[in-house]
Amino acid sequence: MLTFTHRTALVTGAGRGIGKAIAETLAKQGVTVICVSKSAESCGATAATIVAAGGKAKALAVDVADGAAIAKASEDLLKEFPTIDILVNNAGITRDGLLFRMSETDWNDVISTNLTSCFHWTKLIGRPMTRARWGRIVNLASVSGIMGNAGQANYSAAKAGMIGLTKTLAREFAGRSVTVNAVAPGFIKTDMTTEFVNNPEVSAKILEAVPLKRFGEAADIANITAYLCSEEAGYITGQVFSVDGGMAM
């Protein structure tokens, strides 16, 4: 067991995949989890699973690509929860394509959903955290943000941006005992990668670049994220943890 003393966490993209695994892992450790996703149905299902297992959770549908929606949601949440101690910026999308075929809409959608959302949530939820002089922020980056990936100019730019944001905010918040770290997954089996994982030719090609020769599980990412959010990880900040089967060695 990790140590969490009466902590509340907000996890974006908690409706499915990695975010769902993070929300459930934190809840098992006694953390109250605010599960955010785009659709009320998916975050509602995660919150219901947590509550059915004896945990504490609240579901909240927010489009994280909409800064005004984040501002309204944060204002309401901070009335209900005076401090939100843990923020996991996990919501993300891909809109892949080679640069010359990439539309400005696909560029902007990926940047606003994956990167600008972190700016908004951290500004709003991070302020009371710094006042409380305790906090944990974990940003879900990607191996694409470290190594680049042909066909993902928008996504790798967003993820590299999250890494820069992580390192800068780690420095800005360190004096208030708020840590900021990033986790950079490789290929993890979720809805985001089903198309590749279920195609034998494509998956064989991908696995050539993965030293451990298998895809990761959402739990692989949830476990390290929960650790980074715990009391035990209080001396770790500004770091990027690759969980990618050895891709970015």
Kindly list the catalytic residues.
Answer: 155
Judged by beta carbon, residue 225 or residue 230, the one nearer ligand NAP is: 225
Q: Interhelix angle for 117-132 vs 153-173, to 10°? A: 20
Determine, following the binding rule CB under 6 A, whether residue 180 of this chain makes contact with ligand NAP. no
Q: Among 32-40, 51-59, 198-206, 225-233, which window interacts with ligand NAP (CB under 6 A)?
A: 32-40
Half-sphere exposure of 113 (CA within 13 A, CB side): 19
User: Rounded to 5 degrees, what angle do the CA atoms 169, 175, 180 make?
Assistant: 35
Q: Could you say which residues in the range 71-130 bind ligand NAP, by CB under 6 A?
A: 90-93, 113-114
Q: What Rg, from alpha-carbon coordinates, does the chain have?
A: 17
DSSP E strand boundaries for the chain: 8-12, 32-37, 57-61, 86-89, 135-140, 178-185, 240-243
- Choosing from 34, 57, 188, 226, the residue that interacts with ligand NAP (CB under 6 A) is 188
**CA of residue 109 relative to chain centroid, distance:** 17
> Which of 77/140 has CB closer to ligand NAP?
140
CB of 143 to ligand NAP, least distance (A): 6
By CB under 6 A, is residue 45 in contact with ligand NAP?
A: no
Does 142 contact ligand NAP by CB under 6 A? yes
Out of 37, 74, 237, 242, which residue is the one contacting ligand NAP (CB under 6 A)? 37
Report DSSP state, residue 190: S
Amino acid at 47: A
Q: Is 154 in the site for ligand NAP (CB under 6 A)?
A: no
User: Is residue 13 part of the contact set for ligand NAP (CB under 6 A)?
Assistant: yes
> Nearest approach, Cβ of 54 to ligand NAP (angstroms)?
23
Contact 33, 23 (CB under 8 A): yes
Q: Report in angstroms how near the CB of residue 138 gets to ligand NAP at its nearest.
A: 11
Residues 202-241 touching ligand NAP, rule: CB under 6 A, are none
Q: How far is the CB of 236 from ligand NAP (least distance, A)?
A: 20
- # of chain residues touching ligand NAP (CB under 6 A): 30
Q: What would the 3-class secondary structure string for 79-94 be?
A: HHCCCCCEEEECCCCC
